[in-house]
Amino acid sequence: MTADQIVSFTQMKDGTKEDYELLEKLEKPYLALTADRIMDELRRQGEVSLEGYPITRLEHGLQSGTRALREGADIDWIVGALLHDIGDGLAPQNHDRFSAEVIRPFVRDEVAWTVEHHGIFQMFYYGHHYGWDKDARDRFKDHPCWQSCADFCERWDQSSFDPDYEYEPLEVFEPMVREVFARKAYDPDVVQEGVVKGLPPLG
């Protein structure tokens, strides 16, 4: 990196307009590679098993995404299902919120909300075994996305730990991931705050 590609400041408050224009220019190629980093992380998840489970993290995501795909879900739901546990590697204690923040700028708000809250909704299936409140999700009962999240967990998440389920390979989902992460971040036409479509009806 040459001197004219480095800002002049050591404290952000001292930066000039030219400094920040340079940073904006240099950031664009990095942002354009977001989908590549997502794909790399998915592949890493294929190398690490979910401890105690008969499948890897990647296989769980692929099964979830495949179920969404086969039920006729739109691209936001499919990518959301595929990536709902993308935060497991770096943030295992709050992977749901971490995963939601990864996708939030690029998908419908309903999908990001569902991914953000799927952890507490999943407790419905196992929380009582630990002495936890399995109905903790009911604190969100009045939220417009409650049913979407409950359906997401029932149909695509809790059911996707099956070593015999024939799921689609990662290559099927890669074009969808690239399409979603090529969107303009926080585009109101994409985010559609307040719009709740729900999951596709079971046919």
Provide the mean pLDDT of the chain.
94
pTM here is 0.94
For the chain, give every domain's residue range. 16-183
For residue range 77-119, list pLDDT tens digits in order.
999 999 999 999 888 899 999 999 999 999 999 999 999 999 9
For residue range 36-61, list pLDDT tens digits in order.
999 999 999 998 766 789 999 999 99
Contact 96, 72 (CB under 8 A): no
CATH number of 16-183: 1.10.3210.10
- 66 contacts: CB under 8 Å, gap ≥ 6: 165, 167, 168
For residue range 135-183, list pLDDT tens digits in order.
999 999 999 999 999 999 999 999 999 999 999 999 999 999 999 999 9
CA 100 to CA 33: how far, in whole Å? Answer: 19
pLDDT at 170: 98
